[in-house]
């Protein structure tokens, strides 16, 4: 009998504690909570400053690290993770997870390349590629909601399916189309200056702003938070939970499709073996940005900063000539630290 099954008295105890606490320290608690909520937004930004500041300590790195050209490089390298992380933020805030992100990026990049090989106009290629991503998301979302399966399992399966399909479509090789408009999205025109930034960076910024508005200021955005926070409550409040969840995964797939176009553009070829493990990098960005894997919390701003933190870490460590295994260890530590801080903050708030 390890579990007590009479919830009432312990419940009551908690409530009583709340009630008595309410009178005496309500005010200070409120102030504290406002402070912590600020920490929520500022935390990742502080992390970014910290990481950048650490690299600034190195005398030899400073002159090459703090240049317009390097900033452009970092921003360009962030684009794929950042766009993928926009979709992943939707999914994670909505209480789910999508492990197929990396494979979908690879598949859609091959789709883009294959269509270009067929001389489909680049603009149409862009739309069809994004549509492919959306379609995969639609399948993910439908299976998860209609068959009531765990998102982890379904998207794990889709991870294999998409990867396999990419290899199939590319005949197990890279697909190399002729030079075309899509190739230029991620192209740094003047590698030594910050501006002009590649179109891809502007697309990522634009998408981030739109997604931020959607999350904050639309009914759909509030529903995502509600579903991730407590699905039972969402149902009680008349939110069409299934439809919304399918929509969430479809939108996420769409973002992965856009990331796939970026991936193609960066390599100017469709490579079915690219972006392995990208989904974990994307999830890491979302989590470093302050989202909880339990759902119901997270922000686009946080996620974007999370993605930047990882890019800065990578760029900095490679310019310090640290071996890649060192980068991996550092990023691992940062993920754990970020979430540990988040836990700490939550436990403060629960008190």
| Contact positions vs other proteins (CB under 8 A) | 1-6, 8-9, 11-13, 15-20, 22, 26, 29-30, 33-34, 216-220, 222, 225-226, 229-230, 232-240, 296-297, 349-350
CB of 290 to other proteins, least distance (A): 13
Q: Confirm if 84 and 303 have CB atoms less than 8 A apart.
A: no
Cβ-based neighbours of 225, under 8 Å, separated by 6 or more: 93, 215, 296, 297
Alpha helices, H only, 230-323: 231-236, 241-267, 278-288, 300-319
- Of residues 33 and 318, the one with the C-beta less far from other proteins: 33
- Of residues 43 and 272, the one with the C-beta less far from other proteins: 43
Distance CA 187, CA 84 (A): 19
CB of 245 to other proteins, least distance (A): 15
Q: Confirm if 168 and 111 have CB atoms less than 8 A apart.
A: no
Q: What are 107's two structure tokens?
A: 């598949």
- Of residues 69 and 296, the one with the C-beta less far from other proteins: 296
- Of residues 13 and 62, the one with the C-beta less far from other proteins: 13
CB of 212 to other proteins, least distance (A): 13
Distance CA 235, CA 250 (A): 20
CB of 39 to other proteins, least distance (A): 14
- Of residues 147 and 236, the one with the C-beta less far from other proteins: 236
Instruction: Kindly provide the b/e burial profile for residues 91-117, where b requires at least 16 CB atoms within 10 angstroms of the residue's own CB.
Output: bbbbbbbbbbbbbbbbbbbbbbbbbbe
Distance CA 321, CA 10 (A): 56
CB of 230 to other proteins, least distance (A): 5
Nearest to 314 by CA among 330, 303, 301, 302: 330
CB of 37 to other proteins, least distance (A): 8
- Of residues 16 and 340, the one with the C-beta less far from other proteins: 16
CB of 341 to other proteins, least distance (A): 17
- Of residues 50 and 146, the one with the C-beta less far from other proteins: 146
Distance CA 88, CA 280 (A): 10
CB of 54 to other proteins, least distance (A): 32
- Of residues 5 and 118, the one with the C-beta less far from other proteins: 5
- Of residues 26 and 62, the one with the C-beta less far from other proteins: 26
Distance CA 288, CA 190 (A): 31
CB of 133 to other proteins, least distance (A): 23
Distance CA 321, CA 64 (A): 13
Cβ-based neighbours of 146, under 8 Å, separated by 6 or more: 242
* Cis status of the peptide bond prior to 87, with omega within 30 of 0: no
């Amino acid at each position: 009998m390890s579990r007590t099954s009479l919830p009432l008295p312990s419940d009551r105890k908690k409530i009583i504690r709340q009630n008595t606490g309410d009178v005496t320290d309500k005010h200070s608690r409120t102030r504290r909570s406002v402070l912590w909520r600020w920490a929520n937004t500022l935390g990742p930004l502080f992390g970014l400053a910290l990481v950048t500041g650490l690299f600034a300590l190195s005398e030899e790195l400073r002159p090459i690290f703090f240049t317009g050209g390097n900033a452009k490089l970092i921003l360009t390298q962030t684009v794929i993770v950042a766009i993928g992380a926009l979709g992943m933020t939707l999914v994670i805030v909505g209480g789910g997870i999508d492990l197929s992100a990396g494979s979908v990026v690879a598949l859609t990049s091959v789709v883009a390349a294959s269509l270009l090989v067929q001389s489909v106009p680049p603009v149409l290629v862009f739309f069809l590629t994004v549509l492919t991503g959306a379609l995969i998301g639609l399948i993910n979302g439908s299976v998860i909601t209609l068959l009531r399966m765990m998102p982890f399992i379904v998207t794990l399966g889709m991870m294999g399916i998409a990867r396999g399909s990419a290899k199939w479509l590319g005949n197990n090789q890279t697909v190399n189309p002729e030079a075309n408009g899509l190739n230029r999205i991620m192209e740094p025109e003047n590698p030594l200056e910050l501006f002009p930034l590649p179109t891809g960076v502007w697309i990522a910024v634009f998408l981030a702003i739109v997604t931020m508005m959607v999350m904050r200021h639309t009914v759909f955005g509030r529903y995502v938070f509600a579903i991730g926070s407590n699905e039972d409550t969402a149902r009680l409040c008349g939110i069409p939970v299934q439809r919304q969840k399918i929509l969430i995964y479809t939108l996420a797939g769409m973002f992965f499709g856009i990331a796939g176009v970026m991936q193609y553009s960066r390599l100017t070829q469709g490579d079915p073996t690219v972006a392995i493990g990208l989904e974990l990098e994307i999830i890491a960005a979302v989590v470093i940005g302050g989202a909880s894997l339990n759902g119901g919390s997270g922000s686009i701003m946080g996620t974007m900063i999370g993605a930047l933190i990882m890019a800065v870490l990578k760029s900095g460590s490679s310019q310090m000539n640290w071996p890649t295994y060192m980068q991996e260890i550092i990023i691992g530590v940062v993920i754990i630290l970020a979430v540990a801080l988040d836990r700490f903050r939550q436990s403060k708030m629960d008190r």
